[in-house]
Amino acid sequence: MRRQPRSGIQFAAPVSESMPLLSLRTPGRQPGTRRSLASPHMKGRIPSTLQATGRAMRGRCDPVGIKDPRMTREVLRRHAAPVVPAVLLVLTVGLTALVRRDGPLSGEVSLTLWMNRNTPLPVDRVGDVLDPLVTDLSAPLVFLAVVAFVWWRWGWHATTILGITGALTSLTRAGDLIQRPRPTASGTWTSYTFGSGGYPSGHVVFTVLVMGTVALLARRHSTPTVARRLRVVAVVLVAVTCWTRISDLKHWPLDVVGGLLVASLALYAVAWLERSVDPLTASYPRIRKFLGLPTRP
């Protein structure tokens, strides 16, 4: 006779082949499939274990193998971060050494005269409006107006970044160090006189730095639509400024190219600083409170 257990619980009947077994698989996951990376706690994050080699990135629109544009852009940005400023620096130094020679480079005079004779009328009109705004007297006033507007709309964090950009606009004073003369009214080369240095173009440096920084700050402090519109406005203003500085016989073409390179290098430093303010001030709650950044409770 079989002894019953003291607890009073009887043994279950043996499992037959016709009885269904309970599934221990995760609901919503099919057998033979891998766990999806798009889990609820991974939203907005990038897995630290994913790596993309140069061989894997060549010829692929999705380097990390995940159809997520944000991840792709993040990986490409990390790989290009040390390369872009190095290339800009090499190009800037090389062009600066090249333009120190006495006389224009081959093709500069003919290109300048061609742009002077073939400038579209709308570009000339916009250039006539922009040119008085970036002189030695009016540029500081324009910059202060932009700073006041940024402070009113976006607070101290954006204002601080823009103030650092204003200090970098002093790179326009490098023209007297290079001692490259501007073109004459007839588009010919002349001797250099102090205070009339043309390399790099101050108008181009100022426009790229100020408008580029405002467009950069809009990505964080404004809506995507406003940020996109500001980028378009910045590109148009820079393009018109570059063209009219040559067509109005104020600069040689390489003066404008030098201004673009110098300003792009400085703008890249501003972009790095804007991204680094948050981690750099992590241990300084008073500074974070002043800048309007979130602080730990």
64-77 pLDDT tens trace = 444 555 555 555 56
pLDDT of residue 23: 46
pLDDT of residue 209 exceeding 80, the answer is yes
Q: How confident is the model at residue 294 (pLDDT cuts 50, 70, 90)?
A: confident
Q: Is 96 helix (H, G, I), strand (E, B) or coil?
A: helix
> Domain map of the chain by residue range?
118-277
pLDDT of residue 45: 46
Range scoring the smallest mean pLDDT among 7-21, 87-101, 117-131: 7-21
CA geometry: angle 154, 43, 24, nearest 5 deg = 160
Q: Which tokens hold the place of 278?
A: 């948050």
Q: Give the Cα separation of 68 and 80 in Å (integer).
A: 19
pLDDT of residue 124 exceeding 80, the answer is yes
Rounded to 10 deg, the angle between the 202-221 and 253-280 helix axes is: 30
**Of 151, 258, 291, 294, nearest to 214 (Cα)?**
151
Name the residue with tokens 């043994």: 11
pLDDT of residue 227: 93
Question: Tens digits of per-residue pLDDT, 23-54?
Answer: 444 444 455 444 444 444 444 444 444 444 44
Contact, 112 vs 183, CB < 8 A? yes
- Greater model confidence, 95 or 78: 95
Residues ≥6 apart with Cβ < 8 Å to 22: none
pLDDT of residue 43: 47
pLDDT of residue 208: 95
pLDDT of residue 44: 47
Range scoring the smallest mean pLDDT among 77-86, 98-107, 114-123: 77-86
pLDDT of residue 74: 59
pLDDT of residue 287: 85
Q: What is the DSSP letter of 223?
A: -
**Of 141, 271, 76, nearest to 149 (Cα)?**
141
Q: How confident is the model at residue 255 (pLDDT cuts 50, 70, 90)?
A: very high
pLDDT of residue 72: 55
**Mean of pLDDT values over 130-159:** 90
Residue 9: what are its φ and ψ, rounded to 5°?
A: -85, 130
Q: Is 28 helix (H, G, I), strand (E, B) or coil?
A: coil
pLDDT of residue 95 exceeding 60, the answer is yes
- Greater model confidence, 220 or 54: 220
Alpha-carbon dihedral angle through residues 205, 164, 266, 273, given to the nearest 10 degrees: -150
> Which range in 46-55, 100-109, 184-193 is most confidently predicted, on average pLDDT?
100-109
pLDDT of residue 267: 93
Q: How confident is the model at residue 163 (pLDDT cuts 50, 70, 90)?
A: very high
Q: Give the Cα separation of 116 and 254 in Å (integer).
A: 15
pLDDT of residue 297 exceeding 50, the answer is yes
Question: Tens digits of per-residue pLDDT, 71-94?
Answer: 555 555 665 567 888 999 999 999
